Structure 1
Amino acid sequence: MSFERSRPSATIRSTPSDFIVEELALYEPSGSGGHVFLRLRKTGWSTAACARRIAQHLGIANDAIGHAGLKDRHAVTEQTLSFPWPESAALPSMSELASEGIEALQLTRHPHKLRVGHLAGNRFTLVLRNIVGEQAALQQALETLKTQGVPNAFGPQRFGRDGNNPEQTLQWLRGQSRGPKDKRIRRLLLSSVQSLLFDRLLEKRVQQGTWNTVVAGDLVKTTAHGGLFLTEDPETDARRALVGEVSATGPIFGPRMRWPQGEPAQWEKEVLESSLGGEKALEALGKAGAGSRRALRVLPSDLDYRFFEDEGNSCLWLTMVLPKGAYATTVLGSVFVLEDGSEAAKVASGRGTVADSPPNEEMLDDTGPSSR
């Protein structure tokens, strides 16, 4: 999406408390076992930096800490981490971390480590400030989000500090440069390419006007339960898409990704061919995962909002639930040109903060909390 000054504008994250994220658990810990699920609330910490601090506090290895999703640094976030702890030992005290912005809410035992992706979604409670735009038009746009949703782009938040991780990785995959030796970094860079290729396919379908409907050959995902199926009746499924029941999907390329049929398959092969020279590159991408499908649009649920005035400025309070992997600023950026009020770089048109996949450079370079 292009940056348009004529569109309504707003400031996000003027303070961390203006951007609250609550991770929704996929399941509750059982109460027994050799791991501990730590429910915590943190302010000014990325998940990666918080996990390192907790590992230091407990005297265990960094990679022993489990998480379901990665949360933004410039926010107040509630989520669950896990760590191994002998069943014979008393649960450790976490109270001394409260003064650093890490508040332990609950510790409960469970048999195994919390794994990436083991979350149901994220609930956002947001305040947008300095709004410029007609309130009636904004209200109509917010109501439209409930049924139409927005293109489910990853955006540059997955592409590194300078936005060039995917292009550098593409050169490596084409044999034009050497890749990094660190396996973790290689996996992250390959994941950034998967995100870039999805966004390129999504851009193609936005241009076609097929991103929010279903066409013959599409693999379709249900909104309620996430079930995936090949459409056998595209006209009926297009009507279901119109009311938000289903969405067409796009590729997270990998060697075992399920392919659509017909024109959708051809569009995806064209993206793969133009970027990586065809399906022979899928094995390399497999080092970041077997491949999967991602909905072409994101539909917020439980969306509620109200406008209010604060010191003469027009503001918006908004709450919504997004599925895992979806970006709050992708949704907000479909309505507003966004300016980031935090220390992070300014963002526009839905490109910025991710619910559970932060910028790659945060995972690689972040060393501590932001100023609080």
Structure 2
Amino acid sequence: MSDRPHPVPRLTGTPPISGRFKVAPEDFRVDEIAAFDPDGAGEHCHVRLRKRDLTTKRAVELLCRALGADPRQAGWAGMKDRHAVTTQWVSVFGVSPEDARGAEVEGLEVLEAHAHGRKRKPGQLRGNRFELVVRDVPEDALPALREALETLVARGAPNAFGAQRFGRDGDNVAKARAWLVEGGRPPRGRFEKRLYVSALQSDAFNRALAERLEEGSFDRPIDGDLFRKEDTGGLFVSDDLARATERCAAWEISPTGPMFGRKMRAPEGEAGAREARLREALGLDDAVLARFGKLGLGTRRPYRVRVADAELAPAEGGVRLAFALPSGAYATVVLGELFKGGLVDASRAGS
């Protein structure tokens, strides 16, 4: 089995459409949808900031330097794109909201700051709102883009992990297998170890998702599926496939796939058998999962995500696109469904 990240088939059947995105940071805007608001009391200062052409890590480092705070005690819910204009919440320890509001950092603007009792942790967000401009799109491409977007809104977007999950050169899966499956030398740092465990889990999920897309069942049940309730996140197995099909169509539930780990809950029946075969094919036996340790205890991930508040309109020299995705979903997957292989990331191409 290949050590390269597994390709995921497209859901939409529209042809490739050319275009360029991230021509300028202002062409790619991301606004974090927070999971909670700071309560106004505590030693952690929660700052909502807007950054331009900075990674989240670098923005936090610069903010902490300006405030005399320790960046190792800072927190954030999720990493945001560098080549973009993004807003998000971060937490800084031992800083007053008044001082944070007065911070002056190039490429960064403090929008608000409030005290809170705990630091902001990874995953503590509901999702992200994206507003994008894609340039140099053919004038006759709008109908095909609308058709693909309507499919995504109706059925959901495949919840695949994007290429950024697997490293700049796509070699994190091979490095992870060399360490975790083949028993090679482990990475030195905890951060790198976490990246490799995550890459191996993510590739396995993408392989399971690819099988469901190929048979058309990524948004409908098969025997033994472990479903996630859309409103509460609760997991359950249903023995009534007809009722489960109705609930999937109504966006009440969605089938889930594996993020393998020793504490992951497995599905039953045919779904369970497929995941067992996948584990065996990838060499992810119990000893390998034990090597994941606390870096990859395992969980379930929905095979699809809802594309909310979707908008598409012509713009000067291209199109303007907006949509919201839940936490953990990738905007690049949505763009891939709309444009197929025709989209060029201008920030990487040096345009």
TM-score of the alignment, normalized to the shorter chain, above 0.5: yes
Equivalent pair of 1:23/1:78 in contact (CA under 8 Å): yes
**Aligned residue runs from structure 1 range 126-205, under 5 A:** 126-132=132-138, 133-205=140-212
Deviation at 1:222, TM superposition (A): 2.6
Q: How does 1:6-21 map to 2 (within 5 A)?
A: 6-21=15-30
Shift in Å, 1:176:
4.4
1:131-150 Cα distance to aligned partner (Å, 9 max, x none) = 23532232222122111122
CA-based RMSD: 2.3
| DSSP-derived class of the 2:104 partner | helix
> Within the alignment, does 1:42 sit opposite 2:51 as a pair?
yes
Answering whether residue 221 of structure 2 is matched by residue 214 of structure 1, we say yes
Tell me the secondary structure at the aligned position of residue 333 of structure 1.
Answer: helix
The runs of at least 4 aligned residues of structure 1 exceeding 4 Å deviation read: 1-6, 93-96
Runs (5+) with no aligned partner, structure 2:
1-7
Q: For 1:190, what is the secondary structure of its paired residue?
A: helix
Determine which of 332, 335, 339 is the counterpart of 1:332. Answer: 335
- Residue 311 of structure 2 aligns with which residue? 304
Structure 2 residue aligned with 1:360: none
CA distance, structure 1, for counterparts of residue 164 and residue 127 of structure 2: 19
Q: Does 1:120 align with 2:126?
A: yes
1:41–1:244 distance in 2 versus 1, CA, 3 Å? same
Q: Distance in 1 between matches of 2:210 and 2:97?
A: 53
Matches within 5 A, 1:252-331: 252-308=259-315, 310=316, 313=317, 315-331=318-334
Could you tell me which amino acid in structure 1 is paired with residue 335 of structure 2? Answer: L
CA contact (8 A) 2:38 2:115 kept: yes
Q: Which residue number corresponds to residue 4 of structure 2? A: none
- Alpha-carbon distance, 1:27 to partner: 0.8
Letter in 2 for 1:199: N
1:154-179: CA deviation from partner (whole Å, max 9, x where unpaired) = 03211111101111111111234211
Match of 2:109 among 99, 103, 108: 103
Task: State how far apart, in whole Å, the 1-side matches of 2:299 and 2:94 are.
Answer: 34
CA 1:306/1:90 → structure 2, altered by over 3 Å: closer, same or farther?
A: closer
Report the CA distance between 1:103 and its aligned residue: 0.2
For 1:285 and 1:33, the matched residues in 2 are separated by 35
User: Match of 1:227, as an amino acid?
Assistant: G
From 250, 253, 263, the counterpart of 1:246 = 253
Q: Cα offset for 1:39? A: 0.4
Shift in CA distance, 320/161, structure 1 to aligned 2, threshold 3 Å: same
TM-score under structure 1 length normalisation:
0.85
Number of equivalent positions: 340
Aligned-residue offset at 1:345? 5.5
Q: CA–CA distance in 1 between the matches of 2:79 and 2:100?
A: 24
Aligned to 1:305, the other structure's residue is in SS state strand
Name the aligned partner's letter for residue 41 of structure 2. S
Q: Which amino acid aligns with 1:327?
A: Y
Q: Secondary structure of the residue that 1:210 maps to in structure 2? A: coil
TM-score, structure 2 as length reference: 0.90
Contact 2:162/2:330 (8 A) holds in 1 = no
Aligned positions of 1:86-97 closer than 5 A: 91-93=98-100, 95=102, 97=104
Query: Percentage identity across aligned positions?
Result: 37
